[in-house]
Amino acid sequence: MERTCYNASLSINDVGREVTLLGWVSKRRNLGSLLFIDLRDRSGIIQVTVKDDVKVPDVRNEYVIEVKGRVAKKDVANPKLKTGEIEIIASAITIINEAATTPLIIDDDTDALEDVRLKYRYLDLRRPLMQEKLKIRAKIVRAAHEFLDDNDFIEVETPILTLSTPEGARDYVVPSRIHHGCFYALPQSPQLFKQLLMIGGLERYYQIARCFRDEDLRADRQPDFTQIDIETSFLDETQILTLMEGLLKKIFKDVINYDLKLPLRRLSYDEALNRFGSDKPDTRFGLELKDVKDIVSKTSFPLFNSSAHSKAIVIPNLAETTSRKNIDELQLEAKKFRLSSFIVLKVKDEHLEGSAAKFFAEEDGRALIQSLSAKHNDLIIIACSNSLANVCFGLGALRSRYARELGLIKPNTYDLLWVVDFPLFEKDQDSGKLSPLHHPFTRPTAATAEWLSSDPVRVHASAYDIVINGYEAGGGSLRIYDQKMQKTIFEVLGFSQEDIKNKFGFFIDAFKYGTPPHGGIAFGLDRLTMILSGTDNIRDVIAFPKNLRASCPMTDAPSKIDQAQLDELGIKFVE
């Protein structure tokens, strides 16, 4: 069994060549005197023609076969196939292995439910569309290796079994057989280790890192995922962003032949939130948020007057088709963002209509329409609250929803930007407790660090996120490199001295020995692949993903283990 070439490597220039091909039967069509087989391998599909003078075994779909034959020009080309100008005139076909009837259609247009695809993932991966996504993933990794190697970064592997530290999400933990009652944690990121590598003097580190977070799942999250993880010493924020833009430019060029225009735009967190209602704004379309507090506060509507913040978005040409049911659905959406309601107004001939229109004097209604540049048949949606974040995030969610529904997003376009100047902390609206917006190792900006102890919510972070088409594709920051400041951050977050010692003692201790200024970033490999392959489901770009219940239908993981293993680990379950 010796393959001479892959299917897609053959072209019209190979007519007359004798070849041996290996692969799977994708389709078969028996016309009596002729048998046509679509042979699939990892490179693509080629048509095999078997004439009635060639003895052929009974082949079925997904049989693994060997085909010997001659390349010939087809009478009628198939423009849908890369090999559509040619066919193989078979001289011999050998069955290598048979196949049972598959539980899903192995074609790009399969009708299988996702859980069926995940249960039989090894069959789903035969689909050319799935293989193409994995090839894109591999190209991203290769481009990252090449760029980072060329820029003197050192690839270093960090531990998978490590200490449980509070980094934002819940840890996956692993019991120790040797140390009963003790547990390792799987890393949420290599954060502490890559900072220790900077203390160790490596200056430029990277890793294609496996990470684990026990958090609620969605279309763009997995419990185990992969990062392109990077850390540098002696570079400021501008230098890091410029270097990473070079990496992104290479990835986009090498993977999809797309030329990024540098430098990338930078938006502050406040501007992103106020204009787009998101800290990861999709700027491929308009529908920007507008402040209308000065106008609506003149009305007699109680909600407007009792709210510190009022913003609006205008949805074009939607007033006439927006029903009472649609408006009721919007009110349910408002509750998700702790808003009492969305105020929905329709523009008709330069006048406002809707249940709240009666609260607007004629001149105030015209002022609102003019300030928003609204036109006849436009829909105006207003959000009011004492929480600016609730107003912005609520309208931002509607902005994205309507852009999708109205087809306002141009396909095959990429809009990249940096979001910078984040708050260092966020305050829980219920408990009032502070938590880090990124992680507790982020350096405060020099201009705001003085408020760290007295008014920490005023402190900004030297942090930056890369946003691509509304997805956070990566994030990083400059790190704290002063022992006293790091301890202060932990104290502001409510850690006791004992907690600091137990969870971070080894890390704090390392700061005593000459820690360089350092910073870094991590790109989500899965999300990058998702964006560049044109899918909105992260499970499509991972070979063996988990479903939304964090389980694997193929292996039935997670699963129970036998009593002997539990006894060895010193674990007992209490009902």
Note the pLDDT tens digit of each residue in 16-30.
999 999 999 999 999
- CATH homologous superfamily of 7-97 equals Nucleic acid-binding proteins (2.40.50.140)
The closest alpha carbon to 168, from 198, 211, 207, 219, belongs to 211
User: Does residue 107 register a pLDDT over 90?
Assistant: yes
The CA-CA-CA angle for residues 375, 378, 381, to 5°, reads: 120
SS3 398: helix
Rank 26-35, 258-267, 342-351 by mean pLDDT and report only the highest. 258-267
What pLDDT, on the 0 to 100 scale, is given for residue 328?
87
Q: 126: Cβ–Cβ under 8 A, 6 or more apart, which residues?
A: 24, 40, 62, 106
Mean pLDDT of 380-389: 94
User: Does residue 143 register a pLDDT over 90?
Assistant: yes
Q: In the predicted model, what is the mean pLDDT of the chain?
A: 95
| pLDDT > 70 fraction of the chain, expressed in percent and rounded | 100
More confident call, 160 vs 334: 160
What pLDDT, on the 0 to 100 scale, is given for residue 474?
98
Over residues 444-479, the pLDDT tens digits come to 999 999 999 899 999 999 999 999 999 999 999 999
More confident call, 421 vs 299: 421
User: Where exactly are the structural domains of the chain?
Assistant: 7-97, 130-268+415-542, 285-405
Give CA–CA dist 416/136, Å, rounded.
19
Mean pLDDT of 388-409: 94
Q: How far, in Å, are 81, 136, 244, 476, 489 from residue 148 at the CA level?
A: 36, 18, 10, 17, 32
User: Does residue 167 register a pLDDT over 80?
Assistant: no
CATH topology of domain 285-405: Gyrase A; domain 2 (3.30.1360)
What pLDDT, on the 0 to 100 scale, is given for residue 300?
86
Mean pLDDT of 508-529: 98
The CA-CA-CA angle for residues 242, 243, 248, to 5°, reads: 95
H/E segment holding residue 342: strand 342-348
Over residues 185-237, the pLDDT tens digits come to 999 999 999 999 999 999 999 999 999 999 888 778 899 999 999 999 999 99
Task: Read off the pLDDT band of 573 (50, 70, 90).
Answer: confident
The closest alpha carbon to 29, from 59, 74, 8, 57, belongs to 59
Task: Read off the pLDDT band of 113 (50, 70, 90).
Answer: very high
Give the class (CATH, top level) of 130-268+415-542: alpha beta
DSSP assignments along 142-161, one per residue:
HHHHHHHHHTT-EE----SS
Q: What is the 3-state secondary structure (H, E, C) of 460-496?
A: EECEEEEEECCEEEEEEEEECCCHHHHHHHHHHCCCC
User: Does residue 96 register a pLDDT over 80?
Assistant: yes
What pLDDT, on the 0 to 100 scale, is given for residue 430?
81
Q: What are phi and psi of 562, to 5 degrees?
A: -75, 165
Burial 165-181 (b: 16+ CB within 10 A, else e): bbbeeebbeebeeeeee
What pLDDT, on the 0 to 100 scale, is given for residue 121?
98
294: left (phi over 0), alpha (psi -120 to 50) or beta: alpha
Q: At what angle do helices 388-405 and 269-276 cross, to 10 degrees?
A: 60
